[in-house]
Amino acid sequence: MTEVLLEQLNNQDLQWIKNNAQRQQVRARESLIQQKEKIDCLYLIIQGEFVATISKNSGVLGQAFAALEDDSDLQQEIARLSSGEIIGEMSFLDISPAATTFTAVRDSTVLAIPSQKLRSQIGQDLGFASRFYRAIALLLGERFQRLVSLYLHRRLGQINPLQDVPMLFGELKDSDVDWMLHQGYLQEFPPGRVIAKVGRPVENLYIILQGSLSLAVSEQKTNQLSSIFAVLEEEGEEQEELSREIAKLTRGEIVGEVAAFDSYLSNVTLTVIEYALLLTIPRQKLLIKLQQDPGMAARFYRVVAIILSGRIQGMISRLGFGKGSYQFGQTLSVDREYEDEIDLSVMDNITLGGARFDWMLRRLQVS
C-alpha cells in the first residue's frame, strides 16, 4: 500500500508531511489507538505491523450476549495493516471516535501528523487537499474490500444502506451540484438490468433518484488479470459466478464512485430490482472536471473518503455485535446516547445535503 501514497502525492506533499509529522516508536503489543477514543493525529505506518480489533460490549450485558452467541472471546481481529497504511483517518474527517483498537504486532514506527496542522494545510492548499483525500479514499477502499471478505466468511446479514447523497451534497458547493446537473443525464433501467459487474470497467457515476438496486459481491477469488480478460469475453459466453447480495440500495444512494479513480474495475455487481431512474454522470467528464478544478476534487474525494469510512464503521458494527452504535443513514434519537456519535457539524452538513438533493429533484422534475 506504500505505492498508493507515493503515486498520489507529489514531492512537496511528502516534504510537508516530513516537516510536520513526528516519528513515533510503538512497542510490540502496545496500543496506538483504543476503541471509542478521540483521535488527535493521523498515523502513517513507516515500518512494522498493526492489528485492528473490535471489542464487543465488555460489561454484564456484553458477557451475556457473548454467552448467548456462544462466543467467549470479546475481541475480533478485522485487519492487519503494514507499511504505507494509515490509521486514525477519523481524526480529520470529523466523523466519530475510533471504531477499532490498533495494536502493534511487533516493534513499529509511525509518523504522527497532528489533525489540526493537517486541517490547516488542507484549507490552504487545494491541490494538496485533492491529492491527499484521493489517496485516503483509495486506502480506505482497499480496507473496505478486506472487511467484505471477512463479512462473507462470517455469513452475516445485509449491510444497511448509508444514504450517501445527503453526505455528498452537504460537502459539495452549489456550483459543484449545478455542474453535475448540467453534465449528467437521466437514465431509466428496467428490473433485471445489470448496471455494473464485478471485474468490468465502471463507465459512469450514478445517483439513484427512484427505484432500488441489488448490490452483490463475488464469493470467488479472482485476480486482476482474470478480471481484465473477463472484459473481453462475449456476453453470451460469460460463465455464471457465485455472488452474494449484501445490500439493497434505494433513492439517495451513490453507485460507481470508483469511476473517479484511474483503477476503475468494479468490485461489485449492481442489478436493478425495480424500475430505476438514475442521474448518470459520465466518467470521462468527471475525471476531467476533477483534474481541472482542485477545489471540487478536494471536496469530492473528501466525501468519498467519508462515505467509505462510514461503510467501514457499518461493517465493523455488524462484525462486532455493537448494541449501541450509530450507523450512517440511521435516524438519531435525542433520548439516546451513542457510543460513536457523529460530530454535530457533520450532521449539519447532512441536513444541508438533503436540502440540496430535494432542490436537485425539483430541477429534474422527479417526484
Q: What is the tens place of the pLDDT at every residue in 118-174?
A: 999 999 999 999 999 999 998 888 888 877 776 665 555 555 555 567 667 778 888
pLDDT of residue 7: 84
Backbone angles phi, psi at 194, to 5 degrees: -90, 120
CB 18 within 8 A of CB 11: no
Cα angle 141, 142, 148 (rounded to 5 degrees) comes to 90
Domains, the chain: 2-124 (2.60.120.10), 164-324+340-363 (2.60.120.10)
pLDDT of residue 102: 93
Mean pLDDT across 188-205: 90
Q: Which of 93, 86, 134 is nearest to 111 (CA)?
A: 86
pLDDT band at 27; cut points 50, 70, 90 = very high
Mean pLDDT across 219-226: 51
pLDDT of residue 96: 62
Query: Sheet of 75-82: strands edge to edge?
Result: 31-33, 101-104, 49-55, 75-82
pLDDT of residue 257: 84
The residue count for the chain = 367
Mean pLDDT across 206-214: 92
Higher pLDDT, 300 or 232: 300
pLDDT band at 277; cut points 50, 70, 90 = very high
pLDDT of residue 291: 92
Residue 66 has pLDDT above 50, yes or no: no
Rounded Cα–Cα distance for residues 224 and 352 (Å): 40
Residue 38 has pLDDT above 90, yes or no: no
pLDDT of residue 331: 44
pLDDT of residue 241: 55
CB 194 within 8 A of CB 271: yes
Higher pLDDT, 150 or 86: 86
**By mean pLDDT, which of 121-125, 141-145, 218-222, 287-291 is the weakest?**
218-222
Q: Residue type at 164?
A: D
Residue 181 has pLDDT above 80, yes or no: yes
Residue 73 has pLDDT above 90, yes or no: no
Q: Residue type at 312?
A: I
pLDDT of residue 310: 76
CB 171 within 8 A of CB 303: yes
Residue 228 has pLDDT above 50, yes or no: no
Higher pLDDT, 240 or 35: 35
Give a three-class secondary structure readout of the chain: CHHHHHHHCCHHHHHHHHHHCEEEEECCCCEEECCCCCCCEEEEEEECEEEEEEECCCCHHHHHHHHHCCCCCCEEEEEEEECCCEECCHHHHCCCCCCCEEEECCCEEEEEEEHHHHHHHHHHCHHHHHHHHHHHHHHHHHHHHHHHHHHHHHCCCCCCCCCHHHHHHHHCCHHHHHHHHHHCEEEEECCCCEEECCCCECCEEEEEEEEEEEEEEECCCCCHHHHHHHHCCCHHHCCCCCEEEEEEECCCCEECHHHHCCCCECCCEEEEEEEEEEEEEEHHHHHHHHHHCHHHHHHHHHHHHHHHHHHHHHHHHHHCCCCCCCCCCCCCCCCCCCCCCCCHHHHHHHHHHHHHHHHHHHHCCCC
Overall pTM surpassing 0.85 (yes/no): no
Higher pLDDT, 316 or 154: 316
pLDDT of residue 341: 47
- Angle between helix 126-154 and helix 115-124 axes, rounded to 10 deg: 130
pLDDT of residue 98: 74
pLDDT band at 268; cut points 50, 70, 90 = confident
Higher pLDDT, 253 or 336: 253
What is the tens place of the pLDDT at every residue in 299-314?
Answer: 999 988 888 887 777 7
Higher pLDDT, 147 or 27: 27
Q: Which of 264, 70, 273, 71 is nearest to 158 (CA)?
A: 273
Residue 225 has pLDDT above 70, yes or no: no
pLDDT-above-90 percentage for the chain = 33
User: Mean of the per-residue pLDDT values for the chain?
Assistant: 77
